[in-house]
Amino acid sequence: MKFIPTTLAQRKKYYQFQFDQKKVFDWFKKNKISPPQLCALDMGSETKIVLDKTKIGKLINFIPRHLQQKLIETLPEDVYYDRNRYTDPKVALKKLAFKESFSDLNFLGQELAFDIDANNFDCSCIDVCEKCIAKAQRNSLKVGKKLEEQFSRIGYGYSGRGMHVHVFDKRAFSLSIKERQDINTTMRSFGIDPWVSRGRIRLMRLPFSLNGLVSRIVVPLSADEVETFNPLTDKRTIPTYSSSASSFLS
């Protein structure tokens, strides 16, 4: 199985006609957390497919006031939201010292989240296959179950090549780096990317954005959906510029 990167024309069609920024902000509202103060655009760091060649590989941070228009204008490879919360996001944007966020007086906290990529598992496939993705799904439920020992509001999402697990409890935002590392030690066998949940990496794929590496939509899921969810056929993952999932697979 091989996922196909998006073209600039496909990105434009998706963000112009299918993407709905209201759905994005409604997701944050539904989960009772404040919307992101900052977002970030990956301008072709992996595919090298970029509208402005001078921006290849660059990460553009911005305040998402006019989110959809920004995406249409820039056609990014990937879109992320900043899990950090700041007293003043403009100060954070000016400093761009995000690796030191936890020691910055402008820092208020960070959403606890886990990234489980399908290619984190040993498999005979060259890149990612159905078995890898299914394992990421099963393991995301294991992560969620483990988190339920400490937290009450857990969310899930399909990221394009794996799964996300979110913790929406208010007290999780105030966890220290040490406390996040301690939680990580209980998740080692589940294929997580530890640098994400440890807190040093602040970015997470934006729900309903387009994963430009694999031509798939980032889809929030309920716990009941995770195990039976099929990202190869579920219409929620497939951009409308394709008539079927097979258009992206070979």
- Rounded to the nearest angstrom, the gap between the alpha carbon of residue 131 and the centroid of all alpha carbons in its chain is 21
187 sits in the region (left: phi over 0; alpha: psi -120 to 50; else beta) called alpha
pLDDT of 2 reads 59
Give the pLDDT confidence score for residue 186 in this predicted structure: 96
What residue ranges of the chain have pLDDT lower than 70? Answer: 1-2, 242-250
Residue 87 makes CB contacts below 8 A (sequence gap 6+) with 105, 106, 107, 108
pLDDT at 112: 98
Q: What is the pLDDT of residue 249?
A: 35
- pLDDT tens digits, residue range 169-184? 999 999 999 999 999 9
Q: How far apart are CA 31 and CA 97, in angstroms?
A: 28
| Contact criterion met (CB below 8 Å) for 113 and 83 | yes
Per-domain residue ranges of the chain: 8-248
Exposure pattern of 45-83 as b/e (b: 16+ CB <10 Å)? eeeebbeeeeeeeebebbbbeebeebbbebbbbbbbbbb
What separation in angstroms does the CA of 218 have from each of 22, 122, 168?
15, 24, 18
Domain 8-248: homologous superfamily in CATH: DNA primase, PRIM domain (3.90.920.10)
The DSSP annotation for 149-188 comes to TT-S-EEEEE-SSEEEEEE--GGGGG--HHHHHHHHHTSG
pLDDT tens, position by position, 65-94 = 999 999 999 999 999 999 999 999 999 999
Q: pTM of the prediction? A: 0.94
Rounded to whole angstroms, the Cα distance separating 133 from 231 reads 8
Other C-beta atoms within 10 Å of 154: how many? Answer: 22
